[in-house]
Amino acid sequence: MLAMKEMPAEACVDAIRAKKTVIIPLGAFEIYGPHLPLGSDIIVAEEIAQRVGNQLDLPVGPSISVGESAALYDFPGTLNISPTSFYDYLDDVCHSFMKWGVDKFFFMNTHLGNVPIIGQLAWKLNEENVKSCQVDWWRFIQPICEGVTEYSGMMCHGHAAEAGTSCMLYLRPDLVDMEKATVIEPQYKDDYPDIIKYIELGAYTPNGTIGHAKSGTKEKGKIIVERSVARIVEFLNFYFEL
pLDDT value at position 125? 98
Q: What are phi and psi of 79, to 5 degrees?
A: -115, 145
**Tens digit of each residue's pLDDT (9 = 90 or more) over 51-92:** 999 999 999 999 999 999 999 999 999 999 999 999 999 999
pLDDT value at position 200? 96
**Tens digit of each residue's pLDDT (9 = 90 or more) over 49-61:** 999 999 999 999 9
DSSP assignment, residue 215? G
pLDDT value at position 93? 98
CA distance 164 to 181: 12
The type of residue at 19 is: K
Share of the chain above pLDDT 90, in %: 98
Domain range for 230:
4-239
pLDDT value at position 52? 98
DSSP 18-63: HHSEEEEEE---S---TTS-TTHHHHHHHHHHHHHHHHHT--B---
**Tens digit of each residue's pLDDT (9 = 90 or more) over 6-37:** 999 999 999 999 999 999 999 999 999 999 99
Q: Is residue 118 within 8 Å of 26, Cβ to Cβ?
A: yes
CA distance 105 to 96: 12
3-state helix, strand, coil in the chain (%, to 5): 50, 10, 40
CATH code, 233 = 3.40.50.10310
Pairing of strands 183-184, 211-212: antiparallel
**Domain count along the chain:** 1
pLDDT at 96 over 80: yes
Helices 40-56 and 162-171 pack at an angle, to 10 degrees, of: 60
pLDDT at 2 over 80: no
**Average pLDDT along the chain:** 97
**pTM for this entry:** 0.96
The type of residue at 27 is: G
pLDDT value at position 1? 78
Pairing of strands 183-184, 21-26: unpaired
Distant-in-sequence, close-in-space partners of 42: CB < 8 Å, separation ≥ 6: 25, 26, 27, 28, 29, 63, 64, 65, 110
Share of the chain above pLDDT 70, in %: 100
pLDDT value at position 77? 95
